[in-house]
Structure 1
Amino acid sequence: MVVYSSLKQDESARQARKTGNNNMSTDKKPSNWQQAIEGEWHGLPSLFESDGTHVGYNKVTRASEYEDGRTTYWMNTRFDATGPLNDRFEIGSPFRFGVIDSDMDRIYTGPDFFGSGRPYGLLVDSNYFSPGWNVNLRTMNHVVPDLGIQVYSSQLFEGDTVVGVFNGLYIVTHDHKTNPKTQQRVEAFLEKEKLDGKRPFNLPVKHAGKFTGRFEVYNDQQELVGHNDVVIHHNPINLLHSEQTIEISGVVNAKWKAMRTRNGNHHQYHGPDMYGNGMSYGRYLYSVRHVYGEAFKLWSRETVVDEDYNMVCAWQFMQSQKEKYTTFGVLRWEQGDLKLGANYVE
């Protein structure tokens, strides 16, 4: 992974502006992230109102293309939604905007989006502004080669207020325009997304078990510093409460227990080791958990990607209100004992 110092990055940016070259890499090669997302990506992200109500879909084909030292991002969208958000986001024009490409920052230079993205290996965490939509977006894209998908979400803000959420899965193609079999595969995927996109985020309600996986760990300089092995022991108490213990070993070594509750799409964590809350938008849950007695918290985006409860997770650890580690990976569900079987009165 290439890591630039801030001074070198600033100088590269200045030179790029002087020469008209919008690629920050001094050797004029695409960044690692740019290479990882080569091809056309196809998805049907769901659109949610701020309270989590599902109101429709957005059919998207998009690509980030590097040519002659310049990076251009294009996106064709077609909304199919109800209510005022459909009129807000269906602006009637395709997107095409410049990108200053590097593995330190990807800077979006308009006219459709202004801001930047911060890559960590196969994940990029972006924050940028859309004049046409009048929203500030926190967008997270995570390429998961093992599953053949990209896990996408955008939280949409006016200031600090959430006004909506986009989220959904994408698949990539390299011959969509010419290959009928590829076109059929994409259409089948989009039909499945239409069914799955509005499914609520639920963890196993009646069975105990555990989630296990290995996460890549990046420090605040975007350097891969190792891995975390993650185990979450899950034990239902009733249909809306469960006890979970998170065990992490590797770069981060910790063990936290908390009782989780769910009321609709509102989630809470009641200690004793972690306190916080979250909201789910379809199968995506966004949470903040504070570690008791420490200046340490966990921001998380967790996505249930199939009917077996397997989750693709992005976890960011904050220490003293500053980024400490960005970690991500897949947690696979291993079912244990049935805890909430049928009740009988003899």
Structure 2
Amino acid sequence: MAEDKQPSNWQQAITGEWHGCPSLFEADGTHVGYNKVNRSSEFKDGRTTYWMETRFDASGPLMDRFEIGARMEFGVIDSDLDRIYTGPDFYGSGKPYGLLVDSSYYSPGWNVQLRTVNHVVPELGLQVYSSQLFDGDTLTGVFNGLYVVTQDHDSNPETRERVAAFLEKEKKDAKRPFNLPVKHAGVFRGEFEVYNDRQERVGTTTVTVHHRPINLLHSEQTIEISGVINRKWTALRNRTGGNHQFHGPDLHGNGKSYGRYLYSVRHVLGEACRLWSRETVVDEDYTMVCAWQFIESQQAKYMTFGVLRWEPGENVLAAHYID
């Protein structure tokens, strides 16, 4: 019976009401507004219901497309293997990997296909959210932003004040472009959780990214990974506006940034292997929350995620002089 069911681990991890103000971007990266959101996934009497209240403040045709003027509320078949969305607002499914869920689903009201990645980061007190929006395989826009969770929003004035201050900060920070340090060399360092293709946690891997700017638009990076996954790659990176490229020798590919978020695909030279990544700079210290998916022989091999913290080194692009 439904009453005998227990909530999944993911469902327990997201208990509470989440508050955010994700930004809305056109496909070319233009920031066109915000979406004030309250949402919760609630387990009751053996059933899971996801509700979401949205209020868009945007310009252009995407405003008309996404502001439908009604609370969203839809059923979820909850499990730690698949979370299946049963409508009427969303149809599709999400795949949990510990504190991260990667979802693919369709919204009839918005007439859009979404890839949504939600990553709960307890050490930062945040959920890092993004949705890439598609018409078939054609990208039409992006939502992204940070969320905080509350258990007493309606009853506690201090909680409401804290949330309001967070949302105001989100509006100020959301349009900041994705930039890594442009003048200082240094190291990004952190530990990622690793899940295999059966959604089993198989351990952790230490990630070290050695970063050295060459000029204001180019840098060389060496990624070293050790633990469950052991790899080492070097690539030349360049950035032109929101367009990013990786020029080898070990990784070749490109990416596109939408505010603080960079979505990339990098191919490993000489192997049937590529790395899909979503990387989010969450503060002015270049703290970066990452989700890296390893794809081998066209199949998902590992989902990894974690926080990289920046350790600055020397200023390699100090003022130039001609005597």
TM-score range, shorter chain: over 0.9
Q: Could you list the runs of 5+ residues in structure 1 that have no partner in the other structure? A: 1-18
CA drift of 1:345 comes to: 1.6
Structure 1 runs of 4+ aligned residues shifted over 2 Å read none
Alignment match, 2:285: 308
Q: Is 1:325 the equivalent of 2:305?
A: no
Alignment match, 2:77: 100
2:54 aligned counterpart, secondary structure? strand
Q: Is 1:235 the equivalent of 2:235?
A: no
Mapping of residues 1-346 of structure 1, within 5 Å: 21=2, 28-346=5-323
Which residue identity is paired with 1:80? D
CA drift of 1:343 comes to: 1.2
Which residue identity is paired with 2:71? P
Deviations 1:287-310 (A, max 9, x none): 000000000110000000000001
Distance 1:301 1:221 in 2: 21
Distance 1:269 1:252 in 2: 21
Which residue identity is paired with 1:247? E
Which residue identity is paired with 2:37? V
Task: Give the TM-score normalised by structure 2.
Answer: 0.99
Distance 2:88 2:174 in 1: 29
Deviations 1:49-99 (A, max 9, x none): 000000000000000000000000000000000000001000010100000
Q: Could you list the runs of 5+ residues in structure 2 that have no partner in the other structure? A: none
Task: Give the TM-score normalised by structure 1.
Answer: 0.93
Distance 2:175 2:73 in 1: 29
Deviations 1:266-290 (A, max 9, x none): 0000000000000000000000000
Distance 2:138 2:313 in 1: 40
- Could you tell me the percent identity over the aligned residues? 75
Which residue identity is paired with 2:42? E
1:146 aligned counterpart, secondary structure? helix
| Pairwise CA RMSD | 0.8
Distance 1:245 1:160 in 2: 32
Distance 2:125 2:67 in 1: 29
Deviations 1:231-280 (A, max 9, x none): 00000000000000000001111100000000000000000000000000
Alignment match, 1:9: none
CA drift of 1:45 comes to: 0.1
Which residue identity is paired with 2:119? H
